[in-house]
Homo-oligomer: A and B are copies of this chain.
Amino acid sequence: MDKVTFANENLMIQIQENVRGQDVFVIQPSCSPVSDGIIELLIMLDALRSASAGRITAVIPYFPYVRSDKKDQPRISIAARLMADLIQSAGAERVITMDLHAPQIQGFFSIPVDQLTARNLLCSHLERRDLSNSVLVASDVGEVKDVGAFSRILGLQMAIIDKRRTGNDDKAKATHLVGNVEGKEAIIVDDEIATAGTLCEAADFLRQHGAISVRACATHPILCGPAMERIQESSIEEVIVTDTVPVPRAKRIPKVNVLSVASIFGEAIRRIHHSESVGAMFDN
């Protein structure tokens, strides 16, 4: 692909080789600047379609607007569904992605979607240490289901931080701990870390409730805004993420461990190209 950004900010993307009849996989990270990345993906898909590619698969490790997946306020867009529509409208015939915020999001597409997971990768990393005194923690009721999956793989117990709005405050704060972390090593599990605000607040809360250490693990390292400062200054010992979103060198501080999902995506692409089962990659 050859990409030019004109002075008027318009992109011009030219595919450099003949792709007629080819089985094409377009890999597009969803990182800053986010809107440019989306438009770039859509233009690439359209260029491939009009260049008569045989089959076009969009490989989107972190799906854009993945948390705008429900209409929890009146008169808003379910933007993740809109993104699915746009990607299909631009010509994608198949999508590969990883760890969607909710598994239902797969139903937003009318083309086949292969949803991969970094769960086994993250659990393997966690298991390098002795977990016998560990407890898994959901930093919000919305994440409990995900934590449940980890707890089944690792055979650990879990705790949940319950957040409420108090007084006139518009923002919910951690008020109760459901379960027990006293004297335990806590591991907070989430699907993504954005500004790390919730995460660091949770870590403090857990320490107040007696946790002897706090680690965090998540698939998608958005790490935007004040995230790095917060993590650096927090009581969190280790943050384990993957590289579904590029983590620049400046963010690769000692506390942050970045596991590569390259071989998971590579294997999925190989299987799809050869019509082998992708589901079989995640069987136990």
| Chain A residues packing against B (C-beta within 8 Å) | 6-16, 18-22, 32-36, 38-39, 42-44, 46-47, 49-52, 54, 64-65, 67-82, 85-86, 89-90, 94, 102-108, 110, 112-113, 115, 138, 141-142, 144-145, 147-148, 151-152, 157-160, 162, 164-165, 176, 178-179, 194-195, 222, 224-227, 272, 275-280
Q: Are B39 and A74 in contact (CB under 8 A)?
A: no
> Assuming A46-B82, A75-B279, what are 13 further A-B pairs, CB within 8 angstroms?
A8-B194, A8-B224, A10-B64, A10-B68, A14-B73, A18-B75, A18-B280, A33-B33, A33-B36, A86-B86, A107-B108, A108-B108, A145-B145
Known: A33-B35, A35-B39, A224-B8. A107 touches B89 (CB 8 A): no
Cβ–Cβ < 8 Å partners of A74 in chain B: 14, 51, 277-280
| With known contacts A8-B222, A47-B76, A69–B18 Cβ distance under 8 A | no
CB distance from A128 to the nearest CB of B (A): 23
Q: Are A85 and B78 closer than 8 Å at their CB atoms?
A: no
A77 to chain B, nearest CB (A): 4
B76 touches A14 (CB 8 A): yes
CA distance A73 to B52 in the complex (A): 14
A47, B178: Cβ atoms closer than 8 Å: no
- Contact present for B162 and A157 (CB under 8 Å): yes
A70 with B103, Cβ < 8 A, contacts A144-B144, A162-B158 known: yes
- Nearest-neighbour CB distance to chain B for A27, whole angstroms, equals 18
Q: Is the CB of A105 within 8 A of B103?
A: no
Look across to chain B and name the residue whose beta carbon is closest to the beta carbon of A94. B52
| 28 CB < 8 A contacts A-B | A8-B195, A8-B222, A11-B79, A14-B74, A15-B75, A15-B76, A18-B275, A19-B75, A33-B33, A35-B35, A35-B36, A35-B38, A43-B79, A44-B77, A46-B79, A49-B112, A50-B71, A50-B77, A50-B78, A52-B275, A70-B103, A70-B107, A71-B103, A141-B144, A141-B147, A142-B148, A158-B178, A160-B179
Contacts known (A46-B77, A77-B50); A67 close to B10, Cβ less than 8 A: yes
The interface residues of chain B lying within 8 Å CB-to-CB of A22 are 275
Given the known inter-chain contacts A39-B35, A49-B112, please indicate yes or no for A272 contacting B9, CB distance below 8 A: no
